[in-house]
Amino acid sequence: MSSQPKALVLNAPGINCNLETGFAIEQAGGIADQVHITQLESGDKRLDDYQMLVLSGGFSHGDDIASGRILGLELRQRLPEELNTFVAAGKAVLGICNGFQVLVESGLLPYGRIDDFEDKSPGTSLTTNATKNFDCRWGKLFIPPSVCQFIPDSWESSVVELPSAHAEGHFRHDYLDELKENGQIVFQYCDEAGLPTTDFPANPNGSVAGITGICDASGVVLGMMPHPERAVSPWQHPNWRRGEGQNPFGVVLFNGLVDYASEL
């Protein structure tokens, strides 16, 4: 295929990080097409024409009922076959912050298929932060070995920094051992020693085992609460004047995403 894979950056009412996310994809060598959910539903745009589906951050549908629930329901009810076919073909899906919440609500995470969401209790949720507050800060993340297709092997067991900004990022899952055994845990908030933690403020939401990013068992659907699109230039780091943030991890992640998609 073309050396420039195409990403469908999904838009919906309340999404507000789509342009930054599209910029990050294009900086990595991909093509970012901003597509509204209604264009997919009407058939004006076809998911099959893309190698990447990216759901960015924001407050889709005002976070009514729960974060990501309405948009997740739209995907589950109106586009299940298209999404299942997309994932089954090994194409890349990335959900950031609200996008992660949408993927969980749709059932694409952690199971990789929407109909699996209907067949059994999902057992997965992103709920209100343990502090009951919206929290916006940079933090350290541990990258455990995982099956995620977008993380270079050389970065496994590393500690990186990314910014987070959310009120409902407390990750819960009924089958944690299953996630660990399958290599589906991709990011964990960690302390200064690089150990996963539930303690505030290193962990801004109290997620069990510090989990803040997971993928499906095939490694092609990734959801994460931190914002890699806000870490693609050194000057975005709060201490860039002191020389920190010179190798922003957002560049690594989006390069990995686009490199993977370019082989499809």
Strand order in the sheet with 185-189: 31-36, 6-11, 52-55, 92-96, 221-224, 211-215, 185-189, 135-142, 159-166
Active-site choice (17, 97, 148, 215): 97
Contact 60, 71 (CB under 8 A): yes
Q: How far apart, in whole angstroms, are the C-alpha atoms of residue 248 and residue 256? A: 13
Active site annotation includes 227: yes
Active-site choice (61, 166, 170, 227): 227
Active site annotation includes 229: yes
Eight-class DSSP state of 198: -
β-strand pairing of 185-189 with 211-215: antiparallel
Q: Which of 72, 57, 51, 59 is nearest to 5 (CA)?
A: 51
Active site annotation includes 136: no
Q: How far apart, in whole angstroms, are the C-alpha atoms of residue 159 and residue 114? A: 32
Active-site choice (17, 168, 229, 237): 229
Q: How far apart, in whole angstroms, are the C-alpha atoms of residue 176 and residue 144? A: 14
Catalytic residue numbers, as ranges? 97, 227, 229
